[in-house]
Structure formats: structure tokens, C-alpha cells
């Protein structure tokens, strides 16, 4: 990929220019694909001429779909490389009598604007990286190490769609760890039920009902909306119970999202969990206490 | 046409047969705290074809604990065991009685 940017003769340049024009024309005729896609098109056109149309389109589609595979990263790389090459070329070509061609391109439905913006975006995305490339490219044809490429790919991915990079910086669901204190010798004070219920977007009553059922105890809520449970419970134990609650009543089974809502259908008295992320709905079982053994003093017969 | 008929042969709303089609016959294993460090394990919803008395006898011997059978109006017969025997009970139910693990629900912390 390095040789393209440097040695082609004027004729070749012209050819490539034409191809590029064709490609852009095609893309404009085909509708208005994503600017990034166009960019890719152009670069690949430059790189491999006509044969690479398909690959270019593939690259475009992948980038448009917003799910860049490792190949996508490679594409990006070539794109940025091409970026550099292209800029040089463009300048050269404009200087060297290709002005009319260039103007024709300009006329074509503001594609140039899109390109410019795309380039701008690209430049923004890979500004540090491209600078690196520039340094590399000038010294040696630019053999990039895999880790650097990987980190670059992830920075770009994070900038564009952070969801895919595993960084859920949007609506975050960080559940605070349960705070359990001993209230006397036989009771446990669960201080942040309210907080946890708010984070989970569930009513505290529902959560408390589940806790009572699951732990087989009873309890009450004090003045500061803290939960007092009968029995001794460690924070670790509470955590496991909470985890079970989340799996059962909070997470969406289809998309694993925690952004859900629990609704009670008044018609059939069933609880339904509707996901706000993917829109799926599923029914959840109501909380049942089940068998409670007789503990302590027996009833007088 | 044939493909469409093929599609018709599959009823997407039919019961898949496996797993959660019968949520009523779950076996619930619960724990209750008693005074001090003492706990109580209850096993609710064992299938009626098993003889609870015999099971209880084996459980008591295996886990070295006492236990008894409680009759509940709604929930039928429930096995009660002293101490936290939840994991051991579920192990016993799956290995000795060949009950599917997905039908067993362990509650409590």
C-alpha cells in the first residue's frame, strides 16, 4: 500500500483520478452512502483501481453498518494511509493540469463537501495516529505494530460508537453495593434499598417483597426509608440475593439490558417486563413466599 | 409453495416441550434463620410419586441432621431439615432421584 503514494507517473495519476471520479459518480448515483463509505471508495479506487470496487463497497458497507471487524481496522488504516497519499496527490494533480477534472468533481452534487467533511472527521479521528503515520511514512514505509493498530482502532471506535467498544458510558447501571449494618443482635439494617431500587428502576416495595420472600424473613422500613430485616445477613449474602433479583426481574432476557420497566397488567394481573433498549416484553412470575416453617413458639392448639 | 408449506408445518406458538413450560412443578429449596446460628431447610414441591418418608429417612442419615415432614394445606407435604442443607439436598435430588436441575430452585442468600 505504500508504493501507491509515491511513484505513479502522471498518466497513471490521471487514470486513477478518472476512476476515482467514476466511483464517486457511481456512489452519488446510487444514492447517498455514508461519507466514510465514500471516502473508503475513493481510497480503494486510488489503491487498486477497478478491481477493488467490490472490496471497497464491502468496506463501505461494514463501516456504514458501524461494526468494524479487524478488517475494518485494516481498512481504516489503508484509508488513513490513502488519506495522506490522496492529499499529496490532490495537490499535485491540481497543480498539474488536472484542474478541469477536479472542477467536474466539484460540480458533482456537493460530493466534495461530503468528502471534505469526511476527511475532516477522519482527520479528527486519527489525528494523532495519522501524524504518527506521517512520521513513519516519511522515514520508512510504515510497518505498524499490531498493538498500536489495535489501540488506534479502539480509540476510533470509542469516539464513534462507544457502545460497541464495550464502554457503556451512556446510561450507566452501576449498582451500589448493599450496605448492611447490624441492628441489635437479631436484626439487619439494609441502608440503601431505596437507592438500589431507584438504580434498578423498580419500586422499592417490589424489591423488598422479593427480599422478604427470598430470605424467608419479615421486616419493616424505618423513618429514613431503610429496611430492617429480621435475622442476620452479611452484605455478601445480600449481594447474591440482589443478583438473583436482577436476573429475574430486571435484565432483559433477549438483549441483556438492564434498562427495563416492570408493568402490571391490570387485565390479567400479571407482571410484564418491557425492555426499553430492544422493546421486547416478557412476563415475570409474581413473588411467592412459599412455605414458611413455624419458627419459635408454636401456636396454642 | 413447498417452502411455505414447510413453514406451516412448524407452529411457532406450540409448546417447545422442554424447560419452562411447566413452572408449577418447581422444587423450591429454602432456608430460614432460626435463633443464633441455627437454620432450617425446607424442600417444597417434590413430585407426588416419591415417598417422602423414605426420602426423609435417607436425607437424615446422609446429612446427619434431624428433619420431618410438614403437611401444608396449599403446598402439600414439605420436608424440613435442620441446618443449611440446600446444596446437599439439590445434589441428592439431581443425582439420586434423577430430577432435572432446572426444576430445582434454591432460595435464600
Q: Model pTM?
A: 0.55
Percent of chain A with pLDDT over 90: 3
Cβ-based interface (< 8 Å): residues of B facing A? 23, 28, 30-35, 40, 42, 44, 70, 72, 75, 78, 80, 107-109
Instruction: Test B108 with A216 for CB contact under 8 angstroms.
Output: yes
pLDDT of residue A42: 46
Asked if the C-beta of A240 comes within 8 angstroms of chain B's C-beta atoms, the answer is yes
More confident residue, B45 or A90: B45
Window 176-215 of A: residues touching B by CB (8 A cutoff) are 186, 213-215
Asked if A291 and B34 come within 8 Å (Cβ–Cβ), the reply is no
Q: Is pLDDT at A209 greater than 50 in this prediction?
A: yes
Q: Which of A16-20, A216-220, A234-238, B23-27 has the lowest mean pLDDT?
A: A16-20
Nearest to B52 by CA among B71, B27, B22, B77: B77
- Using CB atoms within 10 Å of the CB of residue B101, give its burial: 0 to 12 exposed, 13 to 18 middle, 19+ buried: exposed
Q: Kind and range of the H or E element at A229?
A: strand A227-230
pLDDT at B102 exceeding the cut of 80:
yes
* Rounded distance between C-alpha atoms, residue A209 and residue A217, angstroms: 10
Each residue's pLDDT tens digit, A84-118 = 444 444 444 444 455 555 556 555 545 444 444 44
Answer whether A286 touches B (CB < 8 Å): no
Chains A and B form CB pairs within 8 A to the count of: 52
Instruction: Specify the range with the lowest mean pLDDT, choosing from A14-23, A203-212, B88-97.
Output: A14-23
Question: For A265-274, how does the pLDDT look when each residue is reduced to its tens digit (9 = 90+)?
Answer: 888 888 888 8
pLDDT tens digits for range A155-194: 888 888 766 666 554 455 678 888 888 888 889 999 888 8
Q: Do A217 and B32 touch (CB under 8 A)?
A: yes
**Residue B62 and residue B65: Cα distance in Å, rounded?**
8
Residues A188/A192/A197/A199 CA torsion (nearest 10 deg): -150
Residue range A210-220: mean pLDDT, rounded = 89
Dihedral angle at the C-alpha atoms of A43, A49, A50, A53, nearest 10 degrees? -20
Residue B74: closest CA among chain A residues belongs to which residue?
Answer: A291
pLDDT digits (tens, 9 = 90+) for A233-257: 888 888 999 989 988 888 888 888 8
Give me the interface pTM, i.e. the ipTM: 0.76
Spell out where chain B has E strands: 27-33, 39-44, 67-72, 76-82, 104-106
* Chain B touched by A290 (CB under 8 Å): yes
pLDDT at B59: 92
B69 vs A contacts (CB less than 8 Å): none
Q: What is the mean pLDDT of residues A5-20?
A: 46
pLDDT of residue B11: 63
Amino acid at each position: 500500500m505504500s508504493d501507491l503514494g509515491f511513484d505513479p507517473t502522471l498518466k497513471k495519476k490521471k487514470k486513477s483520478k478518472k476512476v476515482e471520479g467514476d466511483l464517486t459518480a457511481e456512489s452519488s448515483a446510487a444514492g447517498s452512502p455514508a461519507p466514510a463509505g465514500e471516502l473508503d471508495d475513493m481510497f480503494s479506487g486510488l489503491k487498486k483501481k477497478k478491481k477493488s470496487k467490490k472490496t471497497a463497497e464491502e468496506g463501505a458497507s461494514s463501516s456504514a453498518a458501524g461494526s468494524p471487524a479487524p478488517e475494518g481496522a485494516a481498512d481504516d488504516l489503508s484509508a488513513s494511509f490513502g488519506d495522506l497519499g490522496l492529499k499529496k496527490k490532490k495537490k499535485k494533480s491540481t497543480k498539474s493540469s488536472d484542474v478541469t477534472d477536479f472542477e467536474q468533481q466539484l460540480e458533482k452534487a456537493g460530493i466534495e463537501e461530503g468528502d471534505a467533511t469526511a476527511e475532516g472527521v477522519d482527520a479528527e479521528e486519527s489525528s494523532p495516529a495519522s501524524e504518527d503515520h506521517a512520521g513513519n511514512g516519511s522515514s520508512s514505509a510504515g510497518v505498524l505494530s499490531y498493538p498500536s493498530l489495535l489501540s488506534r482502532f479502539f480509540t476510533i471506535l470509542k469516539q464513534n460508537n462507544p457502545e460497541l467498544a464495550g464502554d457503556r458510558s451512556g446510561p450507566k447501571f452501576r449498582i451500589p453495593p448493599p450496605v448492611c449494618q447490624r441492628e441489635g443482635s437479631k436484626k439487619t439494617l439494609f441502608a440503601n434499598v431505596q437507592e438500589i431500587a431507584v438504580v434498578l428502576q423498580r419500586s422499592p416495595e417490589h424489591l423488598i417483597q422479593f427480599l422478604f420472600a427470598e430470605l424467608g424473613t419479615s421486616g419493616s422500613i424505618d423513618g429514613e426509608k431503610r429496611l430492617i430485616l429480621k435475622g442476620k445477613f452479611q452484605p455478601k449474602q445480600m449481594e447474591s440475593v440482589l443478583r438473583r433479583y436482577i436476573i429475574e426481574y430486571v435484565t432483559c432476557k433477549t438483549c441483556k439490558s438492564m434498562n427495563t420497566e416492570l408493568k402490571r397488567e391490570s387485565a390479567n394481573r400479571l407482571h410484564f417486563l418491557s425492555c426499553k433498549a430492544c422493546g421486547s416484553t416478557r412476563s415475570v412470575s409474581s413473588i411467592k413466599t412459599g412455605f414458611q416453617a413455624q419458627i419459635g413458639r408454636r401456636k396454642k392448639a | 409453495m413447498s417452502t411455505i408449506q414447510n413453514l406451516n408445518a412448524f407452529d411457532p406458538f406450540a409448546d417447545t416441550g422442554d424447560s419452562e413450560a411447566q413452572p408449577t412443578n418447581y422444587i423450591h429449596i429454602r432456608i430460614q434463620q432460626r435463633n443464633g446460628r441455627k437454620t432450617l431447610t425446607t424442600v417444597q414441591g417434590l413430585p407426588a410419586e416419591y415417598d417422602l418418608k423414605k426420602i426423609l429417612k435417607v436425607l437424615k442419615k446422609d446429612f446427619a441432621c434431624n428433619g420431618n415432614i410438614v403437611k401444608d394445606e396449599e403446598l402439600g407435604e414439605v420436608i424440613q431439615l435442620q441446618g443449611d442443607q440446600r446444596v446437599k439436598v439439590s445434589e441428592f435430588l439431581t443425582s439420586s432421584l434423577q430430577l432435572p436441575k432446572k426444576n430445582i430452585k434454591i432460595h435464600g442468600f
